[in-house]
Amino acid sequence: MKLLYAVLVLVITGSATTTIYFTYYTTTFYTADVSQLENKVASLESEILNLKSSIDSNLKNAYDDGYSAGIAEQSSSSDAFSSNLSSSNTDAVSTITRTIGTVEESGYSTDCAVSMGGDGCYTPVTLSANVGDKIIMTNTDSTGVHSFTSGTVNGFTLSSDGTFDTGILMSGDSFEWTPTVSGEYPYYCMLHAWQVGTIIVN
Ligand SMILES: [Cu+2]
């Protein structure tokens, strides 16, 4: 009977001890696990926050870069646009350059004069042009000096009208005139009264 009692006590004590130990063990590990998990969650949350902030920052940088690139693109294309615009404007008033020269030795002889049966002492003796054209008058006669003076000659009387006047041009010198009004513009050489020409502006 004593033995049975002792066994019973042993069994109960053992069981209790096991239970207590098991409970302690479980609780300890459970607590440690929870604590570990909590740490892990906190660490993940912090990681997520960092990632979020990094994404925000990258997005902002990308937006800023894109915005700058967009502005640069827009401004370069607007430059291109305005340069196209101005070049097409230039095209619209496209300047045609026309030239008139003086006939070789036209200062020494009246032979070139139309009135003397020649083709004219300026070449071409009659120039057709349009308003806005660039007309370049050049003394192409290597032997003398001449002028292109707008106006008329009556005998030896020179009447300049002031529309244009190159003044005396040495051989090779040029003068540029752009007509702004259509009409017929006679001109002459102030040094050689037989030397006359006409510019017809349409
Ligand atoms: Cu002349």
Query: How does DSSP assign 145-165, residue by residue?
Result: -B--EEEEEETTEEEEEEEEE
pTM here is 0.55
Q: How far is the CA of 42 from the centre of ligand 1 (A)?
A: 102
pLDDT in tens, the chain (202 residues): 666 666 566 666 666 666 666 666 666 666 777 788 788 878 778 776 776 777 576 766 666 666 566 555 555 544 544 444 444 444 455 579 999 999 999 999 999 999 999 999 999 999 999 999 999 999 999 999 999 999 999 988 999 999 999 999 999 999 999 999 999 999 999 999 999 999 999 9
Could you give the residue ranges of the DSSP H alpha helices within 93-194?
none
Q: How far is the CA of 128 from the centre of ligand 1 (A)?
A: 21
Neighbour tally for 173: CB within 10 Å: 15
Q: How far is the CA of 29 from the centre of ligand 1 (A)?
A: 120
Q: How far is the CA of 159 from the centre of ligand 1 (A)?
A: 15
Q: How far is the CA of 195 from the centre of ligand 1 (A)?
A: 6
- Residue of 119, 99, 101, 97 lying closest to 110 (CA atoms): 119
CATH topology of domain 97-201: Immunoglobulin-like (2.60.40)
Domain boundaries, the chain: 1-94, 97-201
| Integer Rg of the chain from CA | 52
